[in-house]
Structure 1
Amino acid sequence: MAEMEAVAMNRQFWICGFVLFGGMLLNAQDVSPVTRENLEGALGNRSVLLVELVRQAEAGDNYAQYCGPNTYITGRGVLKNDAEAVRWCLQAARKGVPEAQNRMGYLYQHGIGVPQDYGEAVRWFSNAAEQKLPAAQHNLAHMYQYGEGVPLDYARAADLYGQAAAQGLARARNELGMAYELGTGVPRNATEAFNLFHLAAEQGEPSAQHNLGMMYFEGQGTARNYPEALKWFSQAANGGIVEAYRSLGHLYEYGNGVHRDYLKAAELYRKAAEHGIVAAQVELAYLYMTGKGVQRDYFESAKWFRRAAEQGHPIGENGIGYMYCRGEGVIRDYRQGADWLQKAAEQNYPLAQQNLGILYQNGLGVPLNYAEAYKWFTLAANSGMAASRRALEALTQIMTTTQLSDGHTRVSDWVSHHNNLKLAAQKAEARKLDSYETAAQP
């Protein structure tokens, strides 16, 4: 049986930490409709709101018909009634009120008061976007960005985000900044991304504040500046971006722009981890494993690695697999350890591939199989794992010609079968992939 050893964790802060709220559409409530002065007065006085709105809406006033749905959707001053909201909103939308058309798109996109129908959502967003309503341009861009109701088209999405951004819509500026950062629909341009994030952040857009902090942290599009990163991460956290707590935790853990404080880092990671931020769960697991900022607790470490693993994070899968192999925080179980390591290895995570090679080489939790061990060591070595290269050299000395041939075939088959991993990773990044390179090996 092979001796199991832990190694220092190699951890990096990746640019993938950008916050992309592509799933958030702008409802009509998020923009200021062009309402008449008397209706604004009525909105300020809830005691006369419903009566006044109904009277004017029934008289055919377009904007009363638009404003009416707000009361029924939110339940302010009247019982919540999605169907009634749709009825009034549809009347205004059919008369060409762009805010009402945007609202109808929102209702169809989310299935509020009507069956969910992306095609209808696109139709209404398009009608409003043609009238230059920034929120509708943003929402239509979202549909193109994610292929909802239309073929996926990053270039068209970027163009629409640009139209809304040109009118000063902060969220569109953030989305367009993401497009320039990732090169989706536009050429990669870190400087342009930085400028857009800065504009949106100054407008108070929390996701842009976090993204701007990342630019300062990484020195992308601007000079690296940890104090500025700290400033914007803090504002984003105050604005409700839970990912920002993880980013702040990283600054405190490594003393970037602040005095190193492991205890503070652990507190910040926990805030993000408890909200399901997978990278923070991995970081917190690492702190519990090493006893930095918290008392060393393998049970807590295993708990947080497991939570990350259950979200499909390869580093979390590798972490909990390692702990099963070591019997730390859990009862030693090589079979379960192998199962978790397999999940991470299939995601092309090099350290898990190396760990899985060790198990196959020694028949721990899996049948002893030199050809399979050869496959995983080779894949890990190809990703730069020096220990895997050494293990591979030693393994080939004891393998037969038949086993070596089998090993070569397994490597070729795996590479061929997983040739779409890069594309899948790019899509995941666009959807918001945040991860740290955290490692532990048996």
Structure 2
Amino acid sequence: MKKKIIILSVILLVSFSCFALLPQQQSYAMDAEDVDNIIKVAEQGDTEAQYNLGMMYATGQGVVQDDAEAVKWFRKAAEKGLVEAQFQLGWIYDTGRGVTQDYAEARKWYRIVAEQGFKAAKWYQKAAEQGDVKAQAILGLMYSENVVVMRDGAESAKWYRKAAEQGNVWSQFNLGEMYHQGRGVTEDGAEAVKWFRKAAEKGLVEAQLQLGMMYATGRGVTQDDAEADKWFRKAAEQGGAEMQVTIGLMYDVGWYVEEDHARAMKWYRKAEAQGDTGVQYVLGMKYRDGIGVAQDYAEAVKWYRKAAEHGETEAQYDLGMMYHQGEGVTQDYAEAYFWLSLAAVSGHEAARELRDTVAKELSQDELVETQKRVHGWKPREWQPKTAEETIAD
């Protein structure tokens, strides 16, 4: 199965509900003089003091709790290369605490942390050994994916388990994957299902998808199509059109489930209704070839046109061919030239060759007029369907 994690960005998906107090920054009593000294040193540019002041504002220790001030001081320390501050800043953007949530910015800071190498690994190890759940989760990832430390499946499973038992949803999922694949642990479908279920019930869409697959194939559980569909639906409700296309592809090619083109079409239609214009092209192909539905060239043209109007190059090419061959439509060389030209502009070589062939069938006036249409064409923006359009489709 396609990996659910990308090595330098998955860290941003490690969830926790409050700022982490690192092993060397546990809470202790602070008097006014301590606070004044830290503020003074931080304002003078001391990196450690800036980070500590950020933690103080984050936790309300010695000062009035203030997320915006925490972000300000974490950023100062992070920009000077302090790994702890960089990690906290990544988490802040991940969760939107004190800032507008921004996954791209979170990923940037987590990547910087990961790239600091052994320093980061040493820090994670120390934090993980003292029970920090997010550090345990990240250490599991590092051992699993050969980041900084040598790949070690057993060590990865150990740290994933510790974090999973503390309720970390991504570690629950990753531990399930390890049991599913037999990496670092003995392969065990039932144990995989157990951990997938824990993460799925917390709403992790990848776990819901994987749990659906387990029910669809009967691996680790009794095979149950209804239960599989239940989890697929949950995943699709959260994952939107992209997840619906994924489920459609699973049924289309028999990827972890029994091949079922009719079911694939059901999921493709759901995705299309939510605005996935690329899947309109897939629907066109299905009707053209009669896979999962009765072959219907006119219906194929309809879906190719929808996708082509949204700028899908392959759909423009196939629609041009349909007009050229008169399949599902009245043969129309000018219309064929128009759609083939649009595909050719996007670099489609076969479209360019066929366009040049079709051009010989047009009069000079027809050619000039169609070229004007090509130059003035703009792709349509997707608009939610009306009730009438939904019924028609």
TM-score by length of 2: 0.56
Instruction: Give the equivalent residue in structure 2 for 1:405.
Output: 338
Query: Structure 2 regions of 5+ residues with no counterpart?
Result: 40-48, 61-66, 95-103, 289-295, 325-332, 347-376, 383-393
Instruction: Give the equivalent residue in structure 2 for 1:305.
Output: 232
- Are 1:219 and 2:146 matched, yes or no? yes
2-side partners of 1:416 and 1:155: how far apart?
42
Identity level (%): 27
Taking a change above 3 Å as real, the CA distance of residues 405 and 148 of structure 1, as seen in their structure-2 partners, is farther
1:56-101 CA distance string (max 9 Å, x none): xxxxxxx6xxxxxxxxxxxxxxxxxxxxxxxxxxxxxxx68849x9
2-side partners of 1:131 and 1:158: how far apart?
8
- Are 1:370 and 2:295 matched, yes or no? no
170, 177, 200: which is aligned to 1:250?
177
1-side partners of 2:303 and 2:340: how far apart?
10
CA RMSD of aligned residues (A): 5.4
28, 35, 39: which is aligned to 1:33?
28
- Secondary structure at 1:398 match in 2: helix
1:284-324 CA distance string (max 9 Å, x none): 11222222222222221221111112113555322565799
1-side partners of 2:71 and 2:85: how far apart?
23
Taking a change above 3 Å as real, the CA distance of residues 276 and 398 of structure 1, as seen in their structure-2 partners, is same
Alignment of 1:182-221 (within 5 A): 182-184=107-109, 186=112, 189=115, 191-192=117-118, 193-221=120-148
Taking a change above 3 Å as real, the CA distance of residues 284 and 235 of structure 1, as seen in their structure-2 partners, is same
Alignment of 1:283-432 (within 5 A): 283-319=210-246, 337-341=268-272, 343=274, 345=276, 352=279, 355-358=282-285, 368-373=302-307, 397-400=321-324, 402-403=335-336, 405-406=338-339, 409=342
TM-score by length of 1: 0.51
- Please tell me whether the aligned partners of residues 91 and 106 of structure 2 are also in contact (alpha carbons under 8 angstroms): no
Taking a change above 3 Å as real, the CA distance of residues 173 and 397 of structure 1, as seen in their structure-2 partners, is closer
- Please tell me whether the aligned partners of residues 281 and 304 of structure 1 are also in contact (alpha carbons under 8 angstroms): yes
- Are 1:135 and 2:61 matched, yes or no? no
Taking a change above 3 Å as real, the CA distance of residues 244 and 21 of structure 1, as seen in their structure-2 partners, is closer
2-side partners of 1:414 and 1:226: how far apart?
52
- Are 1:158 and 2:149 matched, yes or no? no
Alignment of 1:90-101 (within 5 A): 98=35
Query: Structure 1 regions of 5+ residues with no counterpart?
Result: 1-9, 36-62, 64-94, 103-128, 141-146, 382-390, 419-442
1:179-236 CA distance string (max 9 Å, x none): 9994439486162543443332233210111111111111122222111110110111
2-side partners of 1:365 and 1:323: how far apart?
24
Q: Deviation at 1:239?
A: 2.1
Q: Deviation at 1:33?
A: 3.3
Q: Deviation at 1:375?
A: 7.4
Taking a change above 3 Å as real, the CA distance of residues 269 and 312 of structure 1, as seen in their structure-2 partners, is same
Instruction: Give the equivalent residue in structure 2 for 1:14.
Output: 5
1:117-159 CA distance string (max 9 Å, x none): xxxxxxxxxxxx769446236679xxxxxx9689999954724
What amino acid sits opposite 1:290 in the alignment? T
What amino acid sits opposite 1:262 in the alignment? G
Taking a change above 3 Å as real, the CA distance of residues 309 and 216 of structure 1, as seen in their structure-2 partners, is same
